[in-house]
Amino acid sequence: MRIAVVGSGYVGLVAGACFADLGHDVILVDNDQQKLAALRNGQVPIHENFLPELLGRHRGQRLTFSDDLKETVALCSVIFVAVGTPPTESGEADLSYVESVAREISGGINGYKVVVEKSTVPVYTSEWVRRIILRNGSDPEMFDVTSNPEFLREGTAVTDFLFPDRIVIGCDSDRSAEVLREVYAPLTNGSYYQRSDAIPQPDRASIPPPVIVTSTKSAELIKHASNAYLAMKISFINAVASVCESVGADVNQVVHGVGTDSRIGPRFLNPGIGYGGSCFPKDVMAFRAVARESGYDFRLLDEVMRINEDQRQRFLRKVHSALWTLRGKNLGVLGLAFKGGTDDIRESPALFLVQALLQEGSKITAYDPAAMERAREVLPSGVTFANSAYEAAHNADALLILTEWEEFANLDLNRLRQELKYPIVIDGRNLYDPEIMAAQGFTYYSVGRIAAHPDGVSAPVLKNGKKA
């Protein structure tokens, strides 16, 4: 099939590359000329596992790039819209990019087209997109507007796309549903998974994935409700972690006990410094706004957001309780991305914390395997960037772990202790076992677990073994 994907960001680029890997001819459209030039030149603008392989495989062949939306629409039968939907001041989704894309699509309709919302949008958007296309002179028989939400996590987006838990197709006509089924047929009939060059299968893949066909509105709601539910799960466990801290319980043990109930499940129950990223914060807010507009006061979502913000403040208080004063202290920071496996720093709790610590007069030396270039653009010039986790720890008064990168969970603890001025680790992602850290001579603070000290003593101990 000939497929257009409008918007080559984190979602559009992955979707386009994956559609090409399924055997479709894909044109990626973007209005950012620099990005298009970079993509044509073989650059990969984002850090995403397997994306370089897929772009390398299909670039210039099944995957081409264009800035001409109208011409692309004329050439394709399915048009996926994946432009950004940033939040407005009031928390609603700003749909102006979606609207302008809809207007342009209208000019290219020269036969039956299926327009697919891939961006996360409020429940009434498909109707608006339809109205805009009609207003601009298109024949109502010549197009359908559908919703096919993405559930891609950054860092594992390619695998999530090709091995989805489910494919949700929101359509109000059989004709458009048929077209979307055909787009995903290589996944749903299993043929993709038999190919020797298929992207490797992750654990827990449901093969072939089920297709869930719904009305367009239901599909729009499925996306918002899924993200809000996942954010709620994280806020819930963060609230439980706070109770654990108060009573001296261990949240990891609680998570194990709670998550093994198959009705609850263990995933997205990792406590930390709160969720960030381009989706959860924005989507919870937008869903809240949509509900309010439709007459339902979804106050549960306010609480999800409040707990999330509070989690960052609690972490700051933890840094204070570990170090007393912050002015002039050297802090090593591991992680700037909003989560491990990505270079994305949008709404990153790590960046928020770095900025707050800088404001309190701390000196920061930070390391992130992928996000330093992007972080450099937004952090003040006083932040030093290190080339490794150990370099960030060198001579620091304490080390802060802010992103759940796998490499941060496997550090050489002996070396780390030697690098640090004081062996204090404040871990916002629970990457280590408190007992092991204490046995290795660290004073170790984490989330939802009591602080661990070498030899069980409560005062911080210097690396030479003396009490501070």
Chain residues in the site for ligand UDX (CB under 6 A):
6-12, 30-32, 35, 82-85, 97, 100-101, 119-120, 150-154, 227, 230, 234, 268-270, 272, 275-280, 338-339, 404
* Nearest distance in Å: CB 177, ligand UDX: 22
Given 18, 76, 171, 279, the catalytic residue = 279
Cβ atoms 115, 133 nearer than 8 A: yes
Backbone angles phi, psi at 445, to 5 degrees: -110, 140
For ligand UDX, the closer CB: 223 or 417: 223
* Nearest distance in Å: CB 468, ligand UDX: 31
Q: Looking at the DSSP assignment, which residues form a beta bridge with residue 151?
A: none
Interatomic CA distance for residues 284 and 70, integer angstroms = 33
DSSP characters for 256-290? HHHHTSTTT-STT---SS---SSSHHHHHHHHHHH
Contacts of 163 (CB under 8 A, 6+ apart): 201, 202, 205, 206, 207, 209
Q: What angle do CA 452, 458, 464 make, to 5 degrees?
A: 85
* Nearest distance in Å: CB 463, ligand UDX: 30
For ligand UDX, the closer CB: 231 or 411: 231
Peptide bond into 423 cis (omega under 30): no
Interatomic CA distance for residues 334 and 340, integer angstroms = 11
Three-state DSSP at 437 gives helix
* Nearest distance in Å: CB 113, ligand UDX: 18
Three-state DSSP at 113 gives strand
Backbone angles phi, psi at 47, to 5 degrees: -90, 110
For ligand UDX, the closer CB: 84 or 91: 84
* Nearest distance in Å: CB 137, ligand UDX: 20
Three-state DSSP at 28 gives strand
* Nearest distance in Å: CB 286, ligand UDX: 9
Burial call 231-242: b when 16+ CB within 10 Å, e when fewer: bbbbbbbbbbbb
For ligand UDX, the closer CB: 229 or 296: 229
* Nearest distance in Å: CB 254, ligand UDX: 14
Interatomic CA distance for residues 426 and 253, integer angstroms = 19
For ligand UDX, the closer CB: 35 or 318: 35
67 is written with which tokens? 């800035």
For ligand UDX, the closer CB: 220 or 419: 220
Interatomic CA distance for residues 216 and 213, integer angstroms = 9
* Of residues 340, 397, 318, 403, the one with CA closest to residue 364: 397
Cβ atoms 235, 307 nearer than 8 A: yes
For ligand UDX, the closer CB: 28 or 420: 28
In the numeric block, the tokens 């987006």 are attached to 157
Is 279 known to be catalytic?
yes
Question: Which residue's Cβ lies closest to ligand UDX?
Answer: 9
Residues with active-site annotation: 279
